[in-house]
Amino acid sequence: MSGRRGSAARLGLMALPVAFFAVFFAWPVAAIVARGLKVDGVWRFGRIADVVAQSDIRHVLWFTTWQALASTALTLLAALPAAYVFARLDFPGKQVLRAVVTVPFVLPTVVVGTAFLALVGRGGLLDELWGVRLDTTVWAILLAHVFFNYAVVVRTVGGLWAQLDPRQEEAARMLGASAFGSWRKVTLPALAPAVAAAALMVFLFTFTSFGVVQILGGPTFATLEVEIYRQTSEIFDLSTAAVLTIVQFAAVGSILAVHAWTVRRRESALRLVDPSVTARRPRGTGQWALLAGVLASIAVLLVLPLAVLVRRSLDGGFGYYRALGDADGGTFLVAPIESVVNSLEYAAAATAFAVLIGGLAAAALARRDAGRLVRGFDALLMLPLGVSAVTVGFGFLIALDRPPLDLRQSWILVPLAQALVGVPFVVRTMLPVLRAVDERLREAAAVLGAAPWRVWREVDLPLVRRALLIAAGFAFAVSLGEFGATVFIARPDNPTLPVAVARLLSRPGDLNYGQAMALSTILMLVCAGALLLLERLRTDRTGEF
């Protein structure tokens, strides 16, 4: 009886998340693929080989792959020393600095691209000082990817590093191993799964990069995501876009499968300790020099681009900010500043959807009687982070065009698309906390006659309330900056902040450029404020997401 009751409860928790992803993710993606590969009711799979054989498409595939590999390598090189510093060293301002490091990750990719455009593009800092402009080279894209993904390595690897027992390495030193030898033989094998998981996530985010490459790459460089957007919105070649979607889907699925394996290895038995006892004040010249080097790298790689963005938005005072209140009747049917209110409203609705869907999914995945099918759904929840957001957005317009789901003119399309990106963050935040709840507490409440809903309200909710708030904050931040899908479905009279920034950058003139910088600064400040609030809510200081 209890087994049947548990299965029924699990199925009940999974029903809404499964329906949500089936209708608002699987169906739109399938609609795009079918529209592109199905001609007169017949599937034309030979089109896949024809598209991949094109020289310009092969160039896109090659650039997408090698820039992702290069970005991943550079991010690991820059961020691994910082992971050690945050894990093992204790210094004033550490918690604030951890929040600063994480700010770029929650920033919209449009803002990241705009920040580096202000640094290395026309009239940027390097252009003013030395006449150097990198906006037409791949270096600007690689550096922007390092900026965006720095926190992924710091928090994923540093989170585990902080919990590794340093006495194991000290024991190896006492047995005669050198400092490097003990690190290589003891610490590195324990960190390997976390490093691999972080590298795979960085590769995933850079392989599917859109906003950064769209702004910095110009007509010369394009990733798969950018090419899907070009084929869909500019050339109207849905057949080619469908093939590229399939290619990206296959690549992302492979990456996520390997990532799931590395996560299972990372969660295998390790001797972990309280991270508060592993950090200590820097000792010796080497550690102080390492701390200084990491602080300098953070200042140059993370703080400088944002500072230049703010500075460019203030050229000539607050004129660009005041100009945001004027509608030109061309690119904008309303004043650009109204995009701030639109974005906040959309993000609030998306957060509500994401918390509801992600919370139910996390509750189902956290149950100890969850089967393989349910655990497999955990990996599927990550797919929206890697599958083309452009495909999802355009798929919304194609699939959701008939009653009872004719939503093409409805405002709700935007928060639904944004919620798809927010759900994985809700699940990843809440799942560890739900799994940590002692099952005996629930059983005791049930024995005393509490209904399942009351058990959740009286037992689980008080324990996961803080995690729920953090999950909502992350969902809000990522929804605020969603661009790939929103650019298709946001109405001209209700643009979001990222869409407004992209429109301004697409128009010539210093006024449009300055307004783009001003809107990007506003968006950056909102995201940074949300993140700093999340850091105050956190009780877990291991550094992981």
Is position 374 within any domain? yes
Is position 476 within any domain? yes
Give the tens place of pLDDT for each residue, 402-446.
Answer: 777 778 778 888 999 999 988 888 887 787 777 766 667 766 777
Asked if pLDDT for residue 27 goes beyond 80, the answer is yes
- Looking at residue 280, the DSSP 8-state letter turns out to be B
Give the tens place of pLDDT for each residue, 441-457.
Answer: 766 777 777 666 677 67
Is position 453 within any domain? yes
The 3-state DSSP class for residue 415 equals helix
Supply the pLDDT for residue 131: 55
d(CA 515, CA 327): 12
Number of domains in the chain: 1
Give the tens place of pLDDT for each residue, 299-322.
Answer: 988 888 888 888 888 887 788 888
Average pLDDT rounded to a whole number, residues 97-118:
80
pTM of the model: 0.80
The answer to whether 262 and 55 are in contact (CB under 8 A) is no
Average pLDDT rounded to a whole number, residues 203-214:
86
Is position 30 within any domain? yes
Is position 490 within any domain? yes
Q: 79: burial class by Cβ within 10 Å (0-12, 13-18, 19+)? A: buried
Supply the pLDDT for residue 531: 72
Most confidently predicted of 59-68, 502-511, 512-521:
59-68
The proportion of the chain whose per-residue pLDDT surpasses 90, expressed as a percent, equals: 10
Asked if pLDDT for residue 542 goes beyond 50, the answer is no
Asked if pLDDT for residue 520 goes beyond 70, the answer is yes
What band does 66 get if pLDDT is binned at 50, 70 and 90? very high
What band does 126 get if pLDDT is binned at 50, 70 and 90? low
d(CA 520, CA 161): 34
Asked if pLDDT for residue 543 goes beyond 60, the answer is no
- Identify the residue with better confidence: 545 or 473: 473
The answer to whether 419 and 384 are in contact (CB under 8 A) is no
Give the tens place of pLDDT for each residue, 146-177.
Answer: 998 998 898 888 877 777 777 776 676 676 66
The 3-state DSSP class for residue 90 equals coil
Supply the pLDDT for residue 511: 84
d(CA 83, CA 100): 14
Per-residue exposure over 112-133, b if at least 16 CB sit within 10 Å of its own CB, e if not: bbbbbbbbbbeebbbbeeeeee
Supply the pLDDT for residue 372: 57
Supply the pLDDT for residue 515: 86
- Domain residues for 39? 1-44+337-494
Is position 37 within any domain? yes
Supply the pLDDT for residue 369: 56
d(CA 498, CA 111): 7
- Identify the residue with better confidence: 32 or 180: 32
Residue 493, CA distances (Å) to 73, 346, 483, 505 in order:
42, 14, 16, 18
Supply the angle between the helices 224-233 and 389-399 in degrees, to the nearest 10: 30
Is position 102 within any domain? no
d(CA 534, CA 261): 29
CATH of the domain at 29: 1.10.3720.10
d(CA 342, CA 339): 5
Give the tens place of pLDDT for each residue, 319-358.
Answer: 888 888 876 655 566 777 888 888 889 999 999 999 999 8
Is position 264 within any domain? no
The proportion of the chain whose per-residue pLDDT surpasses 70, expressed as a percent, equals: 79
Average pLDDT rounded to a whole number, residues 196-200:
85
The average confidence (pLDDT) of the chain is 79
Supply the pLDDT for residue 129: 57
Supply the pLDDT for residue 545: 52
What band does 121 get if pLDDT is binned at 50, 70 and 90? low
Average pLDDT rounded to a whole number, residues 177-202:
76
- Identify the residue with better confidence: 279 or 502: 502
